Amino acid sequence: MATNRTFTMIKPDAFAEGNSGAILKMIEEAGFKIVAMKATQLTPAIAGKFYEVHSERPFYADLCAYMSSGPIIAAILEKDNAVEDFRKLIGATNPADAAEGTIRKIFAKSIEANAVHGSDSDENAAIEGSFYFSQTERVG
């Protein structure tokens, strides 16, 4: 995957509240193109694998339970400087710290149920995108 891509999930809280459309609209209006997308529901084991990097953190079990608690949308997004620009668009992990106008500020409920995921590096964007999408399920 090219380095002008990032990976996102609309998390169970935002999906359940019917905020997926509004969030995707903000993403497109910020200049990101959707080059892969699907709705799915993770099992606890798959959520655990996705978040394996956090397996030593105290919130890991809660996070895996939460991320498998309902449907999500997974998507690969394309834009120049995608990873950094998308992190800016979503805002800080804790919505209490997120800047005004960011997706998490608008839609997140808590530090855990924070509406969206965004990759933190080009390398992880490629790994995370490939975790969900095969070559034939994405553009390019």
Distance CA 102, CA 57 (A): 26
Q: Which amino acid is at 111?
A: I
Tokens standing for residue 69: 């608690």
Identify what 24 binds: Mg ion, ligand GDP, none; CB under 5 to 8 Å per kind.
none
* Residue 25 labelled as part of a binding site: no
Per the annotation, does 87 bind a ligand? Answer: yes
Which residues make Cβ contacts (< 8 Å) with residue 32, sequence separation at least 6? 6, 77, 78, 79, 82, 85, 86, 89
Q: Which lies closer to ligand GDP via its Cβ, residue 47 or residue 137?
A: 47
Of the residues 8, 117, 119, 129, only one is catalytic, namely: 117
**Could you say which residues in the range 96-125 bind Mg ion, by CB under 5 A?**
120
* Residue 111 binds which entry of ligand GDP, Mg ion, none, CB below 5-8 Å type-dependent: ligand GDP
Residue 81 DSSP code: T
Q: Is 124 annotated as a binding residue?
A: no
Cβ 99 vs Cβ 105: under 8 Å: yes
Nearest to 1 by CA among 101, 99, 130, 107: 130
> Which residues lie near ligand GDP (CB under 6 A)?
54, 59, 62-63, 93, 111-112, 114, 117, 120
Q: Is 4 annotated as a binding residue?
A: no
Q: 117 catalytic, yes or no?
A: yes
Q: Which does 20 bind (CB under 5 to 8 A by kind): Mg ion, ligand GDP, none?
A: none
List the structure tokens of 45: 């084991």
Catalytic residues, by residue number, are 117
Q: List binding-site positions for ATP.
A: 11, 59, 87, 93, 104, 114
Q: List binding-site positions.
A: 11, 59, 87, 93, 104, 114
